[in-house]
Amino acid sequence: MRQDDGITGGKQAAGSVEHDPLWHELVALLPAADPVPPEIALIGRSSFSWRTIDAELAELAYDSVGASPVGLRGSDGPRQLTFVAPSVTIELQVVPVGERRQLLGLLVPARDARVVVRHHDGIAAVQTDETGRFEVEDLAPGPGSLRCQMVGNEGGAPVVTDWVNL
């Protein structure tokens, strides 16, 4: 039996759960049983050093991994990512090569650009060809983001992609 209609919002929802001793056991138990591991708590702090200033953000618009249902065995083929910025779209294929990754990228519209892969493992820099394509070999898996500086527009804003787990 409902005590009140707490479903319309507010911090306390109605229902018998708040009177359930098991719920109160969990409320007391969870923070003690699983505190944030210190290493995890430190991860966020160091992220700030990757901040870019005045860059154009190419947001993740499509990820083929997210498109497949959990529980279904996906193919071992390349993962397809699309990042969209106001001035350019970046298509990226992430090809597994053993435990490592190969990146095959395309700037649309085709642009002459210097592409830097920002990665915890270091930085890799490549150049696009005349069709706007680029390739990065032998990357370690893990968080990565691309930073594209258009050639001929070195004073202009670079384009950076949303960080993803490569």
User: Should residue 43 be labelled a site residue for other proteins when binding is judged by CB under 8 A?
Assistant: yes
| CB burial readout 65-97, b (16+ within 10 A) else e | eeeeeeeeeeeeebbebbbbbeebbbbbbbeee
Residue closer to other proteins by CB (options 14, 110) is 14
User: Should residue 9 be labelled a site residue for other proteins when binding is judged by CB under 8 A?
Assistant: yes
Alpha-carbon radius of gyration of the chain: 22
Dihedrals phi, psi of 13, to nearest 5 degrees:
-80, 155
User: Should residue 123 be labelled a site residue for other proteins when binding is judged by CB under 8 A?
Assistant: no
User: Should residue 25 be labelled a site residue for other proteins when binding is judged by CB under 8 A?
Assistant: yes
Residue from 1, 37, 109, 154 in contact with other proteins (CB under 8 A): 37
Tell me how many degrees the CA angle 129-154-132 measures, rounded to the nearest 5. 20
Asked if 72 contacts 40 with a C-beta cutoff of 8 angstroms, the reply is no
How near is the Cβ of 68 to other proteins at its closest, in Å?
A: 6
How near is the Cβ of 129 to other proteins at its closest, in Å?
A: 27
Asked if 124 contacts 114 with a C-beta cutoff of 8 angstroms, the reply is no
Residue closer to other proteins by CB (options 70, 109) is 70
> What's the gap between Cα 4 and its chain centre?
41
Give, as one character, the DSSP assignment of residue 27: H
Residue closer to other proteins by CB (options 11, 155) is 11
- Residues forming contacts to other proteins in the complex (CB under 8 A) are 6-7, 9-11, 13-17, 20, 22-23, 25-27, 29-37, 39-41, 43-45, 47-48, 50-53, 55, 57, 63, 65-66, 68, 70-71, 73-74, 79, 120, 142-143, 145, 160, 162-165
